[in-house]
Amino acid sequence: MARQRALKMCGEDGVHVYKNVAGPGREKRKADFIELWDNLAENGTSEFQITEKSSDMCMKLMNATIKDLSANPWWLKWVSVSMLAVVGGSIAVAYSYLM
């Protein structure tokens, strides 16, 4: 569901995050990704700290994006309450006619 929302919002070029997440070769892609990021800078250097801060910001923004895409629409609670009222009222009316 989130992929369709992102596709509608950003187009095909904006949904690469959903590509190759699962399936054959996932473990190799994961290992390659970790190796790449581990080799960008030596631990303790200023480059490492910059990379770490940038990665942290990227992950927080990605998590916020995914959370926003998977959130329920603002109107869902109002529709749910309305439907509950209609069903409850229908049951009450049906019960009163049966008694």
Q: Whole-angstrom Cα distance, residue 47 to residue 52? A: 8
Q: Which two tokens stand for residue 14?
A: 């904006």
pLDDT at 12: 74
pLDDT digits 0-9 by tens, 5-31: 777 777 777 666 656 666 788 888 888
Which range among 6-10, 34-38, 67-71, 75-79 has the greatest average pLDDT?
Answer: 75-79
Task: Give the ranges where 1-99 is alpha helix by DSSP (H).
Answer: 2-10, 26-38, 46-70, 76-98
Q: Is the pLDDT of residue 35 over 70?
A: yes
Q: Is the pLDDT of residue 3 over 60?
A: yes
Q: Is the pLDDT of residue 1 over 60?
A: no
